[in-house]
């Protein structure tokens, strides 16, 4: 996993040279100065949709539940998107994808905080005692809180100055916490849906995360073995 591009919330490896016209075109597009602002605006669309829904009274019979659940869903989706960057980059040759990862990671944290705030405000009426009681009483909320807390140091150290201050190795080690976040997030979702005996969506996210984390394990453990055995065939991108 030391491919120099593990970081979910920060800078990744710089773009490599183009290998084909398709790869070069993709990299050129991703390096365009409009790419980040476009992603930024796109990432705000779910929030805009929820704000509009709340304003227009279009969030269904239970708007508080819709807000809490939708922000939870978007936290998980952004987590998956953040984790897909490195495998997609390796597979496609679009090295410039790395420059979008920090933004995706920060949006994961952003939606996670919104999700927590919706819960704290709409479910708990911003009553600190009630929030603490609920976190300690309901295991799935405790697990969700642990996932969010784990993201805090990642978001706080996602800037270039923090990378310089920590040094690349320590910074990368710290940012591996994103894998624990992913496991806790899926456990949180599973536990919440277990009460309703409804696992269909959980299974989809669990499969996606298993693929994304499994790919990293494969790279860490299978790839070095292949390097030691040059006769073997590498299937990696």
Binding ligand HEM (rule: CB under 6 A), the pick from 18, 47, 54, 73 is 73
Nearer to ligand HEM, 30 or 81 (CB): 81
* Interface mask toward ligand HEM for 122-151; x: CB under 6 A: -x-----------x-----x--xx-xx---
Nearest-angstrom CA–CA distance, 233 and 231? 7
Nearest-angstrom CA–CA distance, 54 and 48? 10
Q: Report which of 40, 18, 37 is spatially closest to residue 27, judged by C-alpha positions.
A: 18
* Interface mask toward ligand HEM for 148-167; x: CB under 6 A: x-------------------
Cβ 70 to ligand HEM shortest distance, Å: 7
Task: Report residue 12: phi and psi, to 5°.
Answer: -115, -170
Q: Report which of 217, 148, 143, 150 is spatially closest to residue 184, judged by C-alpha positions.
A: 143
Cβ 39 to ligand HEM shortest distance, Å: 20
116 counts as binding ligand HEM under rule CB under 6 A: yes
State the CB neighbour count (10 A cutoff) for residue 49.
14
114 counts as binding ligand HEM under rule CB under 6 A: no
Binding window for ligand HEM (CB under 6 A); candidates: 19-27, 152-160, 170-178, 184-192: 184-192
Q: Report which of 144, 147, 146, 150 is spatially closest to residue 191, judged by C-alpha positions.
A: 144
Per rule CB under 6 A, count of chain residues that contact ligand HEM: 24
CB 86 within 8 Å of CB 3: yes
Nearer to ligand HEM, 81 or 141 (CB): 141
188 counts as binding ligand HEM under rule CB under 6 A: yes
* Interface mask toward ligand HEM for 3-42; x: CB under 6 A: ----------------------------------------
Nearer to ligand HEM, 3 or 65 (CB): 65
State the CB neighbour count (10 A cutoff) for residue 166.
15
Q: Residues 6 or more apart from 115 whose CB is under 8 A from it?
A: 68, 71, 72, 74, 75, 148
Binding window for ligand HEM (CB under 6 A); candidates: 1-9, 44-52, 154-162, 182-190: 182-190
| Contact positions vs ligand HEM (CB under 6 A) | 65, 68-69, 72-73, 75-76, 79, 112, 115-116, 119, 123, 135, 141, 144-145, 147-148, 181, 185, 188-189, 192
């Amino acid at each position: 996993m030391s491919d120099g591009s593990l970081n979910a919330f920060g800078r990744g490896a710089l773009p490599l040279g183009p290998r084909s016209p398709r790869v070069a075109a993709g990299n050129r597009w991703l390096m365009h100065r409009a790419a980040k602002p476009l992603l930024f605006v796109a990432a705000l669309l779910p929030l805009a949709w929820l704000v509009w829904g709340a304003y227009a009274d279009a969030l269904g019979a239970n708007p508080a539940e819709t807000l809490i659940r939708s922000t939870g869903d978007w936290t998980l989706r952004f987590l998956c998107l953040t984790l897909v960057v490195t495998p997609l980059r390796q597979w496609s040759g679009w090295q410039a994808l790395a420059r979008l990862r920090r933004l995706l990671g920060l949006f994961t944290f952003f939606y996670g905080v919104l999700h927590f705030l919706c819960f704290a405000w709409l479910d708990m009426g911003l009553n600190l005692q009630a929030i603490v009681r609920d976190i300690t009483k309901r295991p799935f909320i405790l697990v969700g809180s642990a996932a969010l807390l784990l993201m805090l140091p990642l978001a706080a150290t996602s800037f270039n100055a923090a990378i310089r201050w920590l040094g690349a190795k320590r910074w990368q080690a710290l940012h591996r916490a994103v894998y624990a976040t992913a496991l806790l997030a899926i456990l949180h979702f599973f536990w919440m849906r277990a009460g309703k005996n409804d696992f269909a969506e959980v299974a989809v996210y669990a499969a996606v995360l298993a693929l994304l984390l499994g790919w990293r394990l494969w790279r860490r453990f299978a790839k070095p073995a292949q390097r030691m055995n040059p006769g073997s065939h590498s299937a990696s991108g």
